[in-house]
């Protein structure tokens, strides 16, 4: 396995989020991490992306402790789309995507032909080529997220981590971004995403990691691990599980106290 | 195939420039934006033109052809004296100090992602002023005053950094703490001025406005030496700094070592500001305005170091020329000119951003 963590204790200052956590990302998978709010899913992703130094334990990338590798070297193998990034004032789409080439560049090699090709390919696959000369701050939320994805793609890393890539997007754009992620996975990348929506997670994940209170409660193929018991245990939600008519994956239908909406 | 849409006007009506191109030689490549190149050259030419005018005009006008001859040591003796001994060192000091202020401002504005994150606001300029005043009041020599202002600048920066530090330094905290430290230092300034002997107070008052008056090669050369070291550091910092404008996480994900880069950038920014202040006294506003003007003229995203340096140099020499000639024969210190323009520009900027 290229990316895994062992014995991770993760904390922000004094507040410990997870203790003695082991996690493995299967090579070539589309791994989705899911769990209720404050279960530590984003924290774990940040640790895997070496944004957060574990208090104990270590994250390993290609057999080395990730913090012992040069940071640009890591950035050529593992990319991260953070939950929120700042758009520099007045930057164009092409410029922003071009910044994804940073780990491949040096002071005396600022813009090689490979850089140019990688940026063109990244914009093509996220369908933002036509927006190349537009200012990023005038784009819609969905377009903007595609541009950030393009930047992460231009980095050309075999492993890509995504921290809640669909937050702040409306449902149509959520599906658009997730479909795009599935395409990227099909092209051979290992993807790891933190998502909020259990149904979307079931639909897109090839490997699902379910977390609660800083522990991994279940992991594996969504169709085999997602049960009514698991949903009740993790989310404290009673539900029915049916087959997603589109994808054949589990579809969670929450129970309600009411039988039908009361109209007055 | 649908043609890509032509570049539409940006949010504030600015069209986006043509795509950047690269200069390549074997495995080497340099990234250049045509617009950046054109504006950079234009500002440099303007700076040189202003410098030439400043060399020429004054109480005693030297014709341009005599200036060129004098610079090569072949002019009339009077022209040589005026140009080489009096005006050239003043202008060279002005260009270097302006560039240093411009770079220092660009670095701090980039780090804080805020135009108000300039040395003028985060305790550097006022630290230098307090150091300088203390040296004047204690009867220091010109060199001691310069040294004390450099030390004051570094001390002000350390105080702000230490007070703002909390699991790393965030831009907003840096500004707020800087404003607080600024206020403290200004009250210390006034305390010293009210307690000082009247002639010392007058000297200190003249010094803290910031002036290029009477600057000779002994001022220009130390600044030039410092710049020879700090400019390569700026070149090295410019690319990681640009990545950090997208947020620490994004920069880290791209392989930028955020904390060391930030510490190095702060050190370089402080030294630039400190060296510049030691040479001329605290000339305010250049560090704030130069990067903002540079960004608007070049229409480049984020903060640009090279154009900020060129703009700062041109601005300071231009303001000094205006300060000398506008109310001639009365000569104003350049600091008064930059402060006056600064107030107007700051209001203009804030009104524009509000909309």
B199-211 b/e (C-beta count within 10 Å ≥ 16 → b): ebbebbeebbbbb
| pLDDT exceeds cutoff 80 at B186 | yes
What pLDDT, in 10s, does the model give residues B194-219? 888 888 888 888 888 888 888 889 88
Q: Which of B236, B249, B255 sits opposite A103 (nearest CB)?
A: B255
- Partner residue facing B252 (CB), from A51, A107, A113: A51
- Does B238 contact chain A (CB < 8 Å)? no
pLDDT reported for residue B326:
86
Residues of A in contact with B27 (CB under 8 A): 109, 112
Cα distance between residue B200 and residue B176, in whole Å: 32
Q: For residue B327, is pLDDT > 80?
A: yes
Do A86 and B113 count as a contact with CB atoms less than 8 A apart?
A: yes
Tens of pLDDT, residue by residue over A71-116, are: 999 999 999 999 888 998 889 999 999 999 999 988 777 888 888 8
Sheet holding A215-220, edge to edge: A78-81, A159-163, A190-194, A30-34, A207-212, A215-220
pLDDT at B354: 55
Tell me the mean pLDDT in the region B173-202. Answer: 88
Domain assignment of residue B9, yes or no: no
pLDDT at A39 over 50: yes
Give chain A as a 3 state SS string.
Answer: CCEEEEEEEEEECCEEEEEEEEEEECCCCEEEEECCCCCCHHHHHHHHCCCCCCCEEEEEECCEEHHHCCHHHHHHHEEEECCCCCCCCCCEHHHHHHHHHHHHCECCECCCHHHHHHHHHHHHHCCCHHHCCCEHHHCCHHHHHHHHHHHHHHCCCCEEEEECCCCCCCHHHHHHHHHHHHHHHHCCCEEEEECCCHHHHHHHCCEEEEEECCEEEEEECHHHHCCHHHHHHHHCCCEEEEECCCCCCEEEEECCCCCCCCCC
Contact A91 B302 (CB under 8 A): yes
> What is the nearest CA distance from B168 to chain A, expressed in angstroms?
12
- The pLDDT, as a whole number, for residue B116 is 83
Tell me how many residue pairs between chain A and chain B have CB atoms under 8 A apart: 127
Q: Which residues of A touch B236 (CB under 8 A)?
A: 107
Q: How many CB atoms lie within 10 A of CB B195?
A: 10
CATH number at residue B119: 1.10.3470.10
> Cβ of A130 and B4 within 8 Å?
yes
**Is there a contact between B317 and B94 (Cβ–Cβ < 8 Å)?**
yes
For chain B positions 57-96, those within 8 Å of chain A (CB to CB) are none
Instruction: Name the CATH architecture for the domain at A3-254.
Output: 3-Layer(aba) Sandwich (3.40)
Task: Determine whether the interchain pair A82/B247 forms a contact, defined as Cβ–Cβ distance below 8 Å.
Answer: yes
Q: Is B238 helix (H, G, I), strand (E, B) or coil?
A: helix
Buried b (16+ CB within 10 A) or exposed e, B248-272: bbbbbbbbbebeebbebbbbbbbbb
Residue B14 has its nearest CB partner, among A84, A90, A109, at A90
Q: Does residue A258 have a pLDDT over 80? A: no
Measuring CA to CA, which residue among B87, B22, B42, B88 is closest to residue B293? Answer: B42
pLDDT band at B10 (very low <50, low <70, confident <90, very high): very low
- Å from B239 to nearest chain A CA? 8
Is A92 close to B16, i.e. CB distance below 8 A? Answer: yes
- Cβ separation B253–A82 shorter than 8 A: yes
Contact (CB<8Å) B254/A99: yes
Residue B214 or A250, more confident: A250
User: Is B191 within the bounds of a domain?
Assistant: yes
Contacts of B277 (CB under 8 A, 6+ apart): B124, B125, B128, B129, B132, B149, B150, B153, B210, B283
Q: In chain A, what are the domain boundaries?
A: 3-254
pLDDT for A192: 97
Query: Could you read off the pLDDT of B21-80 as tens digits, one per residue?
Result: 677 776 677 776 777 788 899 999 999 999 999 998 887 888 888 888 888 878 788 888
- Model pLDDT, residue A89: 82
Residue B42 within a domain: yes
Task: Examine the pLDDT at A264 and tell me if it is beyond 80.
Answer: no
Alpha carbon distance A17, B68 (integer Å): 71
- Does any CB of chain A come closer than 8 Å to the CB of residue B9? no
Q: Residue window 107-166, chain A: list those with CB within 8 Å of chain B.
A: 107-113, 116, 129-130, 132-135, 137-138, 152, 155
Give the pLDDT of residue B6: 38
Is B4 domain-assigned? no
For residue B187, pLDDT beyond 60: yes
ipTM of the complex: 0.90
Q: Is A186 on the interface with B (CB under 8 A)?
A: no
Per-residue confidence (pLDDT) for residue B19, from 0 to 100: 53
Q: Is B260's Cβ below 8 Å from some Cβ in A? A: no
Contact with chain A for residue B13, Cβ under 8 A: no
Nearest-Cα residue of chain A relative to residue B234: A107
Q: How far is A136 from chain B (nearest CA, A)?
A: 9
pLDDT value at residue B169: 63
Confirm whether B22 is domain-assigned: no
Name which of A165-179, B266-280, B284-298 the model is least confident about: B284-298
Q: What is the pLDDT of residue B315?
A: 92
3-state secondary structure of B79: helix
Check CB contact of B11 with chain A, cutoff 8 Å.
yes
B253: nearest CB among A79, A98, A113: A79
Say whether A85 and B250 touch across the interface (CB within 8 A). Answer: yes
Q: Is B246 on the interface with A (CB under 8 A)?
A: yes
More confident residue, B18 or B277: B277
Confidence class for position A256, pLDDT limits 50, 70, 90: confident
As a whole number of angstroms, the distance between CA B306 and CA B20 comes to 16
Q: Do A73 and B19 touch (CB under 8 A)?
A: no
How many domains does chain B divide into? 1
Residue B7 has pLDDT above 60, yes or no: no
The pLDDT value given to residue B302: 67
């Amino acid at each position: 396995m290229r990316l895994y963590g062992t014995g991770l204790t993760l904390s922000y200052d004094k507040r410990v989020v997870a203790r003695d956590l082991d996690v493995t990302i299967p090579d070539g998978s589309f791994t989705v991490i899911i769990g209720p709010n404050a279960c530590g899913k984003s924290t774990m992703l940040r640790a895997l992306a070496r944004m957060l130094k574990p208090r104990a334990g270590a994250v390993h990338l290609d057999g080395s402790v990730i913090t012992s590798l040069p940071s640009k070297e890591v950035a050529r193998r593992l990319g991260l789309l953070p939950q929120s990034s700042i758009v520099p004032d007045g930057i164009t789409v092409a410029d922003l995507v071009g910044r994804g080439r940073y780990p491949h560049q040096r002071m005396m090699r600022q813009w090689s032909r490979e850089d140019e090709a990688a940026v063109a390919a990244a914009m093509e696959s996220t369908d933002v080529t036509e927006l190349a000369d537009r200012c990023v701050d005038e784009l819609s939320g969905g377009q903007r997220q595609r541009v950030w994805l393009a930047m992460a793609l231009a980095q050309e890393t075999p492993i890509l981590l995504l921290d809640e890539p669909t937050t702040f997007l409306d449902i149509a754009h959520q599906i658009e971004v997730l479909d795009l992620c599935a395409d990227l996975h099909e092209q051979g990348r290992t993807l790891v995403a933190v998502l909020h929506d259990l149904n979307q997670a079931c639909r897109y994940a090839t490997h699902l990691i379910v977390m609660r209170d800083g522990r991994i409660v279940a992991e594996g193929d969504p169709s085999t691990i997602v049960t009514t018991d698991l949903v009740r245990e993790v989310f404290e939600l009673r539900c029915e599980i049916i087959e997603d008519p589109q994808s054949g994956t589990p579809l969670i239908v929450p129970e309600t106290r009411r039988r039908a909406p009361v109209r007055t | 195939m649908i043609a890509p849409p032509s570049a539409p006007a940006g949010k504030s009506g600015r069209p986006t420039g043509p795509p950047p191109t690269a200069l390549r030689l074997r495995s080497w490549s340099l990234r250049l934006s045509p617009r950046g190149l054109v504006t950079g050259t234009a500002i440099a030419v303007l700076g040189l033109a202003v410098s030439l005018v400043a060399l020429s005009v004054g109480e005693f006008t030297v014709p341009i052809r005599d200036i060129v001859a004098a610079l090569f040591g072949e002019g009339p003796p009077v022209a040589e004296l005026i140009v080489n001994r009096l005006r050239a060192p003043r202008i060279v000091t002005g260009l270097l100090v302006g560039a240093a202020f411009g770079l220092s401002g660009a670095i701090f504005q980039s780090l804080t992602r805020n135009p108000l994150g300039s040395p003028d606001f985060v305790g550097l300029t006022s630290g230098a002023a307090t150091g300088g005043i203390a040296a004047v009041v204690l009867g220091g020599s010109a060199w001691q005053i310069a040294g004390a202002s450099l030390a004051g600048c570094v001390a002000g920066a350390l105080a702000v950094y230490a007070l703002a530090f909390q699991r790393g330094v965030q831009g907003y905290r840096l500004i707020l703490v800087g404003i607080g430290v600024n206020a403290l230092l200004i009250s210390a300034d006034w305390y010293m001025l009210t307690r000082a002997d009247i002639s010392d107070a007058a000297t200190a008052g003249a010094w803290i406005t910031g002036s290029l008056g009477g600057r000779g090669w002994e001022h220009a050369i130390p600044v030039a030496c410092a710049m020879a070291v700090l400019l390569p550091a700026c070149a090295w910092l410019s690319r990681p700094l640009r990545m950090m404008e997208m947020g620490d996480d994004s920069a880290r994900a791209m392989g930028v070592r955020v904390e060391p880069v930030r510490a190095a950038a702060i050190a370089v920014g402080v030294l630039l500001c400190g060296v510049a202040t030691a040479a001329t006294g605290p000339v305010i506003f250049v560090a704030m305005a130069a990067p903002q003007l540079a960004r608007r003229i070049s229409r480049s995203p984020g903060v640009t170091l090279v154009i900020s340096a060129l703009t700062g140099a041109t601005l300071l020499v231009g303001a000094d020329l205006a300060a000398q000639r506008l109310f001639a024969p009365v000569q104003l210190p350049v600091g008064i000119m930059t402060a006056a323009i600064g107030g107007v520009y700051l209001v203009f900027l804030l009104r524009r951003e509000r909309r």
